[in-house]
Chains A and B, each alone.
Chain A
């Protein structure tokens, strides 16, 4: 992202408009929705307006329809690339659940523009230990959240390329930022490939036409009957996940025990289809020279179960074992594992 990333530390050539000193934007969605492109596009507008801009993104599981998060921070000079929880002025969410999950980033008076498009990843971990996802009901969603049916708003603009619908959100965001429409159009021109250009420009326009609704959400956020100190309503954020550090706590007779995920593979059932190898977000699995899957990098496994859920041969199980027993659980044939890890196919 050489075009927008990083700062040279110099004082920007043009002074940013006084009305907007600095700001934090969080863009979220799932893989393939164009989150990164959208944040590039916004960053370009900010750069052109003379701000120092830093952008940072997480898209580890994006190919698998997993979460994509992009943080954009701007001001006269920006040092840290990350938006702190509770400090985003705006959230733009391309996906409903991802949007709700990211609300903990929002400032008390911030505005979240959330698409109602719903794309649940294949293994949404509904019963994943105590990590079960909980979302606020519609009525509990905090003030300042504007839910947009981007497909309905985009209408025929997204007929050819459905992804274009999300550009509606950028149009809506543009209402909240003090830049002329030409600046946005120029950035869209610079970043969007030719064939999707007209659709994107039209979707942007339609989003921008939602100014009354967007402004109303902004006003609601500012005047909401909640104290600034109490912060936005907290929904579990990804970082609150109990297995974020590869382990889960289980209590046995009141004594907390550290559990680690282990993938058990029934070698005689595996047909080497490569699905688990391709799907594992952490690249824990490889095929050995017999085309049988091997759990080669246990230390990376998060226990997400994607491999076991998608194995067509029912050959896998994700077990959680006490850290102390780990070596016993790892493979009877330790040699296989070491060899496969050294020479993945």
Chain B
């Protein structure tokens, strides 16, 4: 023993991650397919080339998350023929249109219901649901908690940009206190949802939170969510540059990424006395949030209970 830890051992996510990654390095690399340019990285082969460039605004964090998801998939899948992406409505939900897998672009708030039907009909498919904070937590909030309660074997990625991007920047159930949106011109007075903890409480068996900025962490978490048997939920904090960023005068895409590392900005401001974003009057401050895998457990899934797949619980 060469180590004394005073008070608490460090978070072991990185060490687990490194181990998981080494194991995965043995997987066959993604097969290069037509479409991408010479030398393009593996994840580009999972894009629908005809659809690019995508419709997201300059600097929109959803694009970074899309790239990270594809990069993660390219590490474990040769093709996406047995992967289905199901999305609702919103800028976030729109990203599935660029993934060269089986994709369903469904109605607002209902991707989980479509995905539930799909998964029960085809339990062999890996089903990924992409939703937004508006899509998944307001209009689709009920579907979210019931999917978690049923513990159906889906992976749900919720892009949380703290606003309704697609429809012009309205208040979302995730908007942080004080933030300006087109429907909170005096600043938000409502308490936001903690989406991850909500899903955990509702019965989700894999619950994690990540940031678009920490792309490599998101990759690890997403792969673990895919591997998990049962309802996996990954909330990923991303940035709406066009509405959230502009309305709150938070700067451009790069500034918003920096503000995800919020604590750093606060430190700079406090200790160095340098002008930073922090000094913009009445700027809403992003709360410190727990990141990483927040909950993981094993419980009989809906498919197992229905006898559609062998019960391994």
Contact in complex: B261, A32 (CB < 8 Å): yes
Q: Which residues of B contact A119 (CB under 8 A)?
A: 261
Q: Which residues of A contact B61 (CB under 8 A)?
A: 312
Interface check B59, CB cutoff 8 A: yes
Binds A, one of B81-89, B208-216, B279-287, B296-304: B208-216
Interface check B60, CB cutoff 8 A: yes
Q: Which residues of B contact A264 (CB under 8 A)?
A: 37, 39-40
Q: Which residues of B contact A271 (CB under 8 A)?
A: 53, 57-59
Interface check A295, CB cutoff 8 A: no
Residue in chain A with minimal CB distance to B53? A269
Contact in complex: B2, A140 (CB < 8 Å): yes
Binds A, one of B8-16, B104-112, B160-168: B8-16
Interface check B52, CB cutoff 8 A: yes
Contact in complex: B6, A34 (CB < 8 Å): no
Residue in chain A with minimal CB distance to B3? A141
CB within 8 A of B53: which of A96, A97, A133, A268? A268
Q: Which residues of B contact A186 (CB under 8 A)?
A: none
Interface check B4, CB cutoff 8 A: yes
Q: Which residues of B contact A125 (CB under 8 A)?
A: 216
For residue A259, give the distance in angstroms from its CB to the closest CB of chain B.
12
Chain B window 208-233, contacts with chain A (Cβ cutoff 8 Å), 1 for yes, 0 for no? 00000111110010000000000000
Binds A, one of B139-147, B174-182, B252-260: B252-260
Contact in complex: A120, B40 (CB < 8 Å): no
CB within 8 A of A216: which of B4, B220, B241, B272? B4
Binds B, one of A83-91, A142-150, A246-254: A142-150
Interface check A9, CB cutoff 8 A: no
Contact in complex: A116, B53 (CB < 8 Å): no
For residue A295, give the distance in angstroms from its CB to the closest CB of chain B.
14
Interface check B44, CB cutoff 8 A: yes
Interface check A63, CB cutoff 8 A: yes
Q: How many A-B residue pairs have CB under 8 A?
A: 199
Q: Which residues of A contact B2 (CB under 8 A)?
A: 139-145, 220, 224
Contact in complex: A163, B52 (CB < 8 Å): no
Binds A, one of B62-70, B117-125, B191-199: B62-70
Number of contacting residues on B, CB 8 A?
67
Residue in chain B with minimal CB distance to A113? B6
Interface check A23, CB cutoff 8 A: no
- Whether A314 contacts B66 in the complex (CB less than 8 A), given A65-B264, A264-B37, comes out as yes
CB within 8 A of A126: which of B11, B18, B53, B63? B18
Interface check A53, CB cutoff 8 A: no
Bound Cα distance from A130 to B144, whole angstroms? 41
Contact in complex: B60, A312 (CB < 8 Å): yes
Bound Cα distance from A133 to B216, whole angstroms? 13
Interface check B311, CB cutoff 8 A: no
Contact in complex: A317, B41 (CB < 8 Å): yes
Interface check B101, CB cutoff 8 A: no
For residue A153, give the distance in angstroms from its CB to the closest CB of chain B.
6
Q: Sorted from nearest, which 8 A-B pairs have the closest CB atoms?
A: A312-B63, A32-B264, A278-B254, A273-B59, A116-B10, A163-B267, A149-B7, A152-B7
List, sorted by A's number, 29 A–B pairs whose CB atoms are closer than 8 Å. Answer: A33-B264, A34-B271, A65-B261, A96-B10, A116-B8, A116-B9, A118-B10, A123-B215, A124-B14, A138-B9, A141-B3, A147-B4, A161-B270, A162-B266, A162-B267, A163-B267, A192-B271, A193-B270, A269-B52, A273-B253, A275-B59, A312-B56, A312-B58, A312-B59, A312-B63, A313-B56, A313-B58, A314-B43, A314-B70
A32-B261, A123-B215, A220-B2 provided; 4 other pairs, C-beta below 8 A? A34-B267, A118-B10, A144-B2, A317-B41
Residues of A within 8 A of B (CB): 31-34, 37, 63, 65, 96-97, 116-120, 122-127, 132-135, 137-149, 152-153, 161-163, 192-193, 195-196, 210, 213, 216-217, 220, 224, 264, 266, 268-269, 271-275, 277-279, 308-315, 317-319, 321
